[in-house]
Structure 1
Amino acid sequence: MLNAMREERADRAGLRGDCERCFGLCCVALPFAASADFAVDKPAGTPCRNLGEDHRCGIHVRLRREGFTGCTVYDCFGAGQKVSQVTFGGQDWRTGPPDRARRMFDVFPVVRQLHELLWYVTEALTLTAARPVHADLRRALEKTERLSRGTPQELAALDVGAHRQDVNVLLLRASELARAGVRGRRRDRRGADLMGARLKGADLRGVSLRGAYLIAADLTGADLRGADLIGADLRDTDLTDADLTGAFFLTQPQLDAARGSVGTRLPGSLARPAHWTTGL
């Protein structure tokens, strides 16, 4: 188990955003609308007003205070540096022709989806109970990595939605195999509307919460060991003192969007969000 954890951390090293090696693509390529998550409107392909000439955020330490919470819960899964340094060979969108910038902005969301899949498949390969599909998962991992290294033209033409569907079949099977070993009742709450639900202290071991809406739900002290949380919306979910050890397909952006405490137990591959203890 220890070796598997070490291998997982090594395999995921390139699946974490590295802003030092990116040209601020998430701050330019993606659109956002004035809301509780963003203080202003910004169309796709237009630099955020807070983006500096050095591709760094000018208010990074004050994002939450200045109304840009959405930025603090975003993770490109390493797609930013892949597009910047690999797909476009270190060529800056600021200094190149307009066509280069447009192509970079078009390709970035595609690679981001592929890298998110790489994160999930890498985790699925650490699930011992999912061994019956490990061979298929390895093939999916290799294909997804190969696709992520395509040319700008290949990436722009890729039907990433179809590829996601193919991989999701394997992830779903891996989830079913892993959760089959959890004792007790394992309800399927895929896509369930649990917004604002009162689930304090709930036993959610082995439950499928894939794509569930848990916005502002109270999961204080809940037991989520062995639960499948892929795609679950955890915005403002209260995870104070909840046990998420052994929960799988949970990502850092999901945790960053939630509320928690020093008593919240997390999978080893994820970090405790700073705002859980500082309130900032």
Structure 2
Amino acid sequence: MSENREARRLDLLSDCGSCFGLCCVALPFARSADFAVNKDAGKPCGNLGQDFRCGIHPQLREKGFTGCTVFDCFGAGQKVSQVTFGGTSWREAPQSAPLMFEVFPVVRQLHELLWYLDEALGLAAARKVHGELRRAQDEVDRLAGGSAEELARADVGEVRARVSELLLKASELARAAVPGKKRNHRGADLIGARLRGADLRGANLRGAYLIAADLAGADLRLADVVGADFRDADLRGADLTGALFLTQAQLNAARGDAATRLPDHLARPAHW
């Protein structure tokens, strides 16, 4: 990985120590299997300390806040805290809170797109569309670095749609290396599906619902998993090396073991 690319990736990693606890305040959550209580958007979580740190971070899963352990802001928290709002917190300047909370999810979406674009640019097989990908990367990066007012006006849906088409082109070029017919499960309801040992090499799993699916021992090399929901999916012994657009949050939401094979840039979750 080049130094420039490595630096870009580091900017897209969460740095909670440089954030004003934005994910713990700006976003809502409902009492469920993922969260122990209800919380409205803009209301600080009861576990958030004055230092903007989570008071129960080591025990989140045990205390019913699994949803917190699988969330990834892709570096949006520190970007909004330290760049967009210049290091002044919503506690220091309460009048800034509504706008800060409004732009945080916007920047989070833009940074997620930057993560995917960076990965697509690392695919040698997608060299044909690298020029388009770089232009999209520059555009999204400029948008993410705009003022709070500009970010609040941004049409993220339109940007996401255009970038998604580019990512699909890159995906198709990369997956073409897998011989034979590839499975197309784009957006499919595969909740609880029995896919143990399945050959899913080069499959299109974009946006698929794989909640609690049995993927133990499955071959997911070069499968496109952008937006796939892996909550509680069984990935024990599965091969995810080279899986396209796989994120740490997706792995954190799943179940795996020491035999699960992962891409080099992602970490094995501690709870596996």
Q: Which TM-score band (shorter chain)?
A: over 0.9
1:214-269 deviation per Cα after TM superposition (whole angstroms, max 9, x unaligned): 00000000000010000000000000010000101000110000000011000111
Question: 1:203 and 2:188 equivalent?
Answer: no
Tell me what 1:86 maps to. 83
- Partner-residue secondary structure (3-state), 2:187: coil
RMSD (CA atoms): 1.0
Alignment equivalent of 1:191, drawn from 183, 187, 211: 187
Tell me what 1:47 maps to. 44
- Partner-residue secondary structure (3-state), 1:275: coil
Tell me what 1:244 maps to. 240
Distance across 2 between alignment mates of 1:185 and 1:244: 19
1:129-173 deviation per Cα after TM superposition (whole angstroms, max 9, x unaligned): 111110000000001010001101000000011010011110010
Q: Which runs of 5+ in 1 are unaligned?
A: none
Alignment equivalent of 1:68, drawn from 51, 65, 68: 65
Distance across 2 between alignment mates of 1:122 and 1:275: 28
Distance across 2 between alignment mates of 1:37 and 1:275: 15
Tell me what 1:256 maps to. 252
Distance across 2 between alignment mates of 1:120 and 1:192: 21
TM-score (norm 1): 0.95
Conserved 8 A contact 1:256-1:273: yes
Conserved 8 A contact 1:8-1:123: no
TM-score (norm 2): 0.98
Tell me what 2:175 maps to. 179
- Runs (4 or more) in structure 1 with deviation over 3 Å come to 6-10
1:61-104 deviation per Cα after TM superposition (whole angstroms, max 9, x unaligned): 000000000000001000000000000000111011x3301110
Amino acid at match of 2:73: C
Distance across 2 between alignment mates of 1:265 and 1:125: 23
Alignment equivalent of 2:140, drawn from 140, 144, 156: 144
- Partner-residue secondary structure (3-state), 1:195: coil
C-alpha spacing 1:7/1:186, structure 2 compared with 1 (3 Å): farther
Matches within 5 A, 1:2-17: 3=1, 8-17=5-14
Give the C-alpha shift of residue 7 in structure 1.
5.6
Counting matched residue pairs gives 272
Give the C-alpha shift of residue 201 in structure 1.
0.6
Conserved 8 A contact 1:194-1:213: yes
Tell me what 2:15 maps to. 18
Give the C-alpha shift of residue 44 in structure 1.
0.2
Amino acid at match of 2:152: A
Distance across 1 between alignment mates of 2:169 and 2:153: 28
1:33-76 deviation per Cα after TM superposition (whole angstroms, max 9, x unaligned): 00000000000000000000000000000000000000000010
Matches within 5 A, 1:80-119: 80-96=77-93, 98-119=94-115
Tell me what 2:269 maps to. 273
Moved more, 66-75 or 183-192: 183-192
Alignment equivalent of 2:221, drawn from 197, 201, 225: 225
Tell me what 2:131 maps to. 135
Q: Which runs of 5+ in 2 are unaligned?
A: none
Tell me what 1:156 maps to. 152
Give the C-alpha shift of residue 187 in structure 1.
1.6
Tell me what 1:57 maps to. 54
Amino acid at match of 1:200: R
